[in-house]
Amino acid sequence: EESPGSENYVLTDFSVRGDRIDIAAPGYSIYSLASGGGYTTMDGTSMATPYVSGAAAALFSMDDRLTASTLKTYLEYGDIRFFQDDAGGMYPALDMENTLELFKRTATGKVTDAASGEGIGGTLLEFNYGDTDTPLETVRSGMDGSVSLGLLMGNYELRVSADGYETAVFQV
């Protein structure tokens, strides 16, 4: 299946290649506004960039508390299609439909004081995946204790800490 403006998910001659590519987007024969009015088709990385930045903006508009790291994770893990170059190299392709499916799995909640039930603002939540001590994602609760965070499916260790409270660790 093709995406709009792509040519069978094949990288063009002007596409950048190599290990530093996190995600690819259509950049060939993109329908765009023409200088002086009207419409035309254009090629280039400047045509692909709006796909990725527009996808990030769409996600951010749904939850403005998302971090740049979380946005990048959604875009990278949402790619289930690949562009192929002429040498057989495969590059992850932006797939906004799948990315939105991942995004719908955003967890929301509220950190509260067990005794009073009041929200605890500024609580630090660190999500670790697997055996690593480095947090995969870190977020602070809002002033009312509210939290919204998107994580990919899996098992996580959640470390919750706030000034004046004992740190709690949960397996989620």
pLDDT digits (tens, 9 = 90+) for 50-106: 888 888 898 888 777 677 887 887 787 776 667 766 667 777 778 888 777 776 666
Q: What is the pLDDT of residue 131?
A: 60
pLDDT at 2: 40
pLDDT given for residue 126 in this prediction: 87
C-alpha span between 30 and 51 (Å, rounded): 10
Residue 3: its pLDDT value, please?
44
Rounded CA-CA distance 139/133 in Å is 16
Please compute the mean of the pLDDT values over residues 25-38 and round it to a whole number: 87
Average pLDDT, integer, range 5-14:
59
Terminal-to-terminal C-alpha distance of the chain: 36
Burial status of residue 21 (CB atoms within 10 A of its CB: 0-12, 13-18, 19 or more): middle
Residue 119 pLDDT level (bands cut at 50, 70, 90): very high
Reading the block at residue 20, the tokens are 């530093």
3-class DSSP state for residue 103?
Answer: helix
CB under 8 Å to 157, separation ≥6 — which residues?
127, 128, 129, 169, 170, 171, 172
37 exposed, middle or buried (CB, 10 Å; 0-12, 13-18, 19+)? exposed
Please say if the pLDDT value at position 148 is more than 50: yes
| Alpha carbon separation from 94 to 4, 6, 75, 108 (Å, rounded) | 12, 11, 7, 26
The torsion angle over the Cα atoms of residues 138, 142, 145 and 147, rounded to 10 degrees, is: -50
In this predicted structure, which of 84-88, 98-102, 138-142, 156-160 has the lowest mean pLDDT? 84-88
Q: Supply the DSSP string of 39-102, one letter for each residue.
A: EEEE-SHHHHHHHHHHHHHHHHHH-TT--HHHHHHHHHHT--EEEE-TTS-EEEE--HHHHHHH
Q: Does the structure show a pLDDT above 70 at 1?
A: no
pTM value surpassing 0.85: no
